Each structure stands twice: as structure tokens, then as C-alpha cells.
Amino acid sequence: MPETDTQKRAFGRIYGLMAEFSTAEQLLEAARRTHDAGYLRIDAFSPFPIEGLAEAVGFRSTMLPLVVLVGGIIGCGTGYFLQYYAAAVSYPINVGGRPLNSWPAFIPITFELTVLFAAVSAVIGMLLMNGLPTPYHPVFNVPRFALASRDRFFLCIKARDRKFDLAQTRSFLESLHPREVSEIEV
């Protein structure tokens, strides 16, 4: 006996619905209308960047700049502390009456470790916040999605959206006049 739409969603076998569009303008307008209709868990796929698409699907700023800042501050403190500890605590040598904590000499390595820690925290933060690496994604189950890298534009409404109802969401997507609406199974 085939499963009903409610059973598919209840058992987590449906990822969402995806609409296929022919032009970037159609996708942008559909994304705006979808977000204005109250759907928050939406995604758009395009073969090239589209001006304003991120805002249309409701992307917000991330915490990545803060992660990079904290990584840079930790790198700065680490670089300075390592040199201070070596020069003033672990092996103090008084050369020419200079102070043991000669901070101008510590600047190059402190700067380099600041940049290193900030860059590493940016890469790790970006990977974690984007959920990468993702070798498999449910949208690959839609056969026509292969055209997303060539000449088609796709809008996906995820099933975990609070407003998602399979029948109502499908009729909403069809009201946007796409080429096709596909069900994405997990």
C-alpha cells in the first residue's frame, strides 16, 4: 500500500518541494513571493550568482566575522605570550640594558600569529556554519536538478518549515508558474 503525503513527512522521507524556473528573473520573483508568503526555510539554486537573491530568500548575517575576530585576538595573545614567556620568564637575558619585555621586537610574530589564527578560524567556522562537507544532498534525488549547473533555476521549500503542508505548498509553488514542481525525497 503506497504511503500518504502525511506519512512521508511524519517518517522524514520528504525533504521538501522544488520548483524549476527558466530565467533568473522568474526565480528572483518567486523567491520574493515565497518569502513574503511566510516560508522561512527556502533555498535557491542557480548556475550563476543573482543580485538580490540572498536577500529574497531571507539570508541573514552570520556569526563568522565574530569567530574570525575571536580567532585573531587569541592568535595575537598567543604570539605575544609565547615571546614574552621565552624572553622574560623562561630564559631572561639582559642584553645591553634593554628591558626583558621588549614589545617592539614581538610585533612581527604577534602579527603573523594573529593572521594565522584568524584565517584558520575563518575556514573552520565557515565549514561548520555551512554544514560542510556535504557529499550528498537530497536535492540530488530530483533528476532535473542536474540542469542547475547549466541553464535552469530552482527554488526549494524545505519540509521542516513551520508553514509547510505538502498539498498547500505544492499549490503555492504551482501558482508561481514554474516549469515543473518536484517532490524531494530523502
- Domain boundaries defined on the chain: 5-60+138-185, 64-129
Return mean pLDDT, the chain.
92
- Radius of gyration (C-alpha) of the chain in whole angstroms: 26
Residue 117 grid cell: 589564527
| Residues 153, 179: Cα–Cα separation, whole Å | 10
180, 144 Cβ separation under 8 angstroms: yes
* pLDDT at 107 (0 to 100): 96
Q: Provide the 3-class DSSP secondary structure of residue 59.
A: coil
* pLDDT at 2 (0 to 100): 59
Q: Give tens-digit pLDDT for 108-137.
A: 999 999 999 999 999 999 999 998 988 889
Element (H, E) at 64: helix 64-84
**5-60+138-185: CATH topology:** Alpha-Beta Plaits (3.30.70)
% of the chain beyond a pLDDT of 70: 94
Q: What is the pTM of this model?
A: 0.74
What one-character-per-residue DSSP string does 87-153 give? IIIIS----TT--S--HHHHHHHHHHHHHHHHHHHHHHHHHHHTT---S--GGGGSGGGGGGGTT-E
